[in-house]
Amino acid sequence: MEKIPKISFLKTNKAEIEFEIFTLNSLFSRQDELNLSLEKPHRVDFYHILFIKKGAGIHYIDFQPYNFNEGSILFISRGQVHAYEVRPDRDGFLILFTEAFLSKNLIHSDILSFYRLYNYYLHLPIIQPEELGENNFNNIIHQIYEEYNFSDDFAKEDILRLLLKLLLLKAERIKHTLIPQGKNSEWFIKFGVFRNQLEKHFIETRNAKEYAKMLNISYKHLNEICKSITGTTAKECIDNFIILEIKRHLAMSDISAKELTYELGFDEPTNLAKFFKKHTLQTPSQFKQSIMK
């Protein structure tokens, strides 16, 4: 069985803080050394910020194409599936960081901003040049790159944390106009925890009441949080996540219906197929054919 490759953060002496920045061109030039094709869907267990300095094209995130231009900035969340178009005429910067880096370096209010920005239920994962206004990400990202490569490591992690926070806040300032106002700030964090628990336990259970217990809140309250942030119930959130997981697995053509059923915790292949068609109006094989065109 061929699954979607899951890429973990590679710890090196330089990247032991679980934060890294490098140019897009340098990534493309190392493609032959990597154990995967950048142009095929691959899942990441860390966060990305992709800033385009040169060129235009398409970046695929969870099978959706996002057109970018010079100055675009994309946010790819942990657990998402994405794929590049590898072209030598494109360049930019790629910032990578893990959940551990966030937990160690961001305080409560920072994490709140982070959850709002990386919540792909709320808005698109891309900021286009025309949306930037007077905000200039170019200078901040160059500072991050220079600091990361600076020879003196004294206070490096603290400086990188502050620069990342500045970048995230500037991005959130642009995005906040797209988010309905008046939402309970704590609910964003609760929803982020719910989403993390769902990623860990969706094979074991798709019962919304069990996720409410994991969060030590009532089922009614979890529903209120989900409706406020996504416009859907907790059950609908879970179903939408399962559909996305099925799509992520179908992206690799070698997986059989029986194997997929086992991987995702369904009893029978027919149950998985019915569930998928009910929510997408496509059979799994029809979806697979559509993404392979």
Residues 21-77 have pLDDT tens digits of 999 999 998 887 877 788 888 888 899 999 999 999 999 999 889 999 999 999 999
What pLDDT does residue 189 have? 80
Closest to 195 measured CA to CA, from 160, 232, 158? 232
Whether 3 has a pLDDT exceeding 70, the answer reads: no
Shared domain check, 215 and 152: no
pLDDT on residue 152: 92
Give the pLDDT confidence score for residue 99 in this predicted structure: 84
Shared domain check, 270 and 160: no
Q: Is residue 92 part of a domain?
A: yes
CATH code of the domain covering residue 65: 2.60.120.280
23 and 156 share one domain: yes
Tokens encoding 278: 């009910």
Residues 225, 150, single domain; the answer is no
Q: What are the b/e assignments for 193-224, b being 16+ CB within 10 Å?
A: bbbeebeeebeeebebeebbebeebebeebbb
What's the average model confidence in pLDDT over 234-256?
86
- Would the pTM of this model clear 0.75, i.e. be above it? yes
pLDDT band at 183 (very low <50, low <70, confident <90, very high): low
Q: Are residues 137 and 204 in the same domain?
A: no
pLDDT tier at 186, thresholds 50, 70, 90 = confident
Same domain, 155 and 227: no
For the cut 70, the answer to whether the pLDDT of residue 5 exceeds it is no
Q: Are residues 189 and 174 in the same domain?
A: no
Structure tokens belonging to residue 18: 């679980």
Please check whether residue 1 lies inside any domain of the structure.
no
- DSSP β-ladder status, 6-7 and 42-44: parallel
Q: Give the chain's mean pLDDT.
A: 86
Least confident of 50-64, 120-134, 274-288: 120-134
Q: What's the whole-number mean pLDDT along residues 199-209?
A: 94
Count the domains in the chain: 2
Better pLDDT: 93 or 135? 93
Of 118, 146, 178, the position where a domain reaches its end is 178
Mutual angle of helices 137-148 and 156-175, in 10-degree steps: 160
pLDDT at 73: 95
* Long-range contact pairs involving 105-110 (C-beta distance under 8 Å, separation at least 24): 105/157, 105/158, 105/161, 105/164, 106/161, 106/165, 110/165, 110/168
Residue 292 pLDDT grade (very low, low, confident, very high; cuts 50, 70, 90): low
Let me know whether 171 and 194 are in one domain: no
How far is Cα 39 from Cα 87, in angstroms, rounded to an integer? 10
44 shares its domain with 100: yes
Give mean pLDDT, residues 158-186: 78
Other residues' Cβ atoms within 10 Å of the Cβ of residue 97: 23
Highest mean pLDDT among 77-81, 101-105, 143-147: 143-147
Determine the average pLDDT of the residues in 154-180: 84
pLDDT of residue 293: 59
Would the pLDDT of 113 be above 70?
no
pLDDT (0 to 100) of residue 1 = 36
Q: Are residues 11 and 37 in the same domain?
A: yes
Domain range enclosing 43: 6-178
In a domain, 88, yes or no: yes
Instruction: Flag whether pLDDT at 170 surpasses 50.
Output: yes
